[in-house]
């Protein structure tokens, strides 16, 4: 069983820095990749935002989107 803090939650859930950098980086990369695949992230400066886009890509690593910024919330649910 994983170590638990006094709160009863698994260690590291309250403090993202407590997770291994590799795990956090992979999660961030996957999040950005999924936004791009779904068409919810567009290149920075795209005006007006395309239908369905909620984020813009503000940084990339070796041509691969790496960081996004939310521009608006989805109008459908």
Bridge-partner residues for 57, per DSSP? 43, 68
Residue 31 included in any domain: yes
Predicted confidence band at 74 (pLDDT cuts at 50, 70, 90)?
A: confident
Kindly provide the b/e burial profile for residues 28-43, where b requires at least 16 CB atoms within 10 angstroms of the residue's own CB.
eeeebeebbeeebbbe
Pick the more confident residue, 4 or 49. 49
Q: For residue range 16-57, what is the model confidence (pLDDT) as tens digits?
A: 554 555 565 789 889 999 999 999 999 999 999 999 999 999
The tokens describing 37, both together, are 């695949």
Residue span of the structural domain in which 24 resides: 16-70
Residue 45 included in any domain: yes
Other C-beta atoms lying within 10 Å of the C-beta of residue 49: 14
Pick the more confident residue, 26 or 72. 72
| Dist. CA 72–CA 64, nearest whole Å | 22
pLDDT value for 12: 47
| Dist. CA 71–CA 54, nearest whole Å | 6
């Amino acid at each position: 069983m994983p170590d638990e803090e006094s709160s009863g939650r698994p260690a590291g859930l309250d403090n993202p820095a407590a997770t291994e950098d590799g795990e956090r980086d992979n999660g961030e990369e996957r999040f950005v990749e999924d936004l791009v695949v779904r068409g919810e992230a567009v290149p920075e400066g795209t005006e007006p935002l395309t239908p369905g886009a909620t984020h813009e890509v503000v940084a990339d690593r070796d041509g691969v989107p790496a960081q996004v910024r939310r521009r608006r919330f989805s109008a459908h649910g």
